[in-house]
Chains A and B, each alone.
Chain A
């Protein structure tokens, strides 16, 4: 089946630890995105990438890092510098902006709790 997978579904970490969230897609999409959702809120963009080995900061990139070594994969690291890391993290992918039908599709998300 084509789609976007994220793992793990739930993640618990102690404060001060870095943690990496996985995102993989087999839709042959060039662009991938990471969003954060806080309770009762919409989504906010953390990072995005339109091509392998290149990525751009979104609105709330501080305390996060990403890599894009393969077209299919876009892992997100939540570092200890992120002040409020507890949130729901969603990964998305799409064809490149400007192409027809470049709607974004989302993975099932990872709920991160840091105590």
Chain B
């Protein structure tokens, strides 16, 4: 099945710094989503981005489907950005909606 790898596994930033999180996937995808899991466990939808570029405030994402990777950019980070960021994909061969999750990037933003 499709493999999803996220890097880096852990990231510590000072407030105000910028960061880039990466998601590599092993096959073509129908669906790619980025989530932020807050300290209470809630998964917050950040982007639905199987291809192209999107921006939402201080966050933006780019997926290069032909090269099988996606990037999540966080600018001017805030302490509330702390948590775990997940990339999840659905392979092109499936039509089930089944998402395969990466292991996540744990971000800590220090004041």
Contact = CB atoms under 8 A, between A and B. Distances in A.
Given A42-B86, A101-B48, A103-B31, A109 B42 contact: yes
Looking at chain B, what size class is its interface with the partner chain? Answer: 20 to 34
Interface in A1-55: 31, 33, 37, 41-45, 48, 50
Interface stretch (B13-21, B62-70, B92-100): B92-100
Contact of A104 (B30, B33, B95): B33
Contacts of A94: 97
A58 B98 contact: yes
Interface SS majority for chain A: strand
Nearest to B103: A42
Given A41-B103, A103-B48, A98 B31 contact: no
A44 B99 CA distance: 8
Interface of A: 31, 33, 37, 41-45, 48, 50, 56, 58, 88, 90, 94, 96-98, 101-106, 108-109, 111
18 contacts: A33-B97, A42-B4, A42-B88, A42-B102, A43-B101, A48-B98, A50-B96, A97-B90, A97-B96, A97-B97, A102-B31, A103-B31, A103-B45, A106-B35, A106-B43, A108-B40, A108-B42, A111-B41
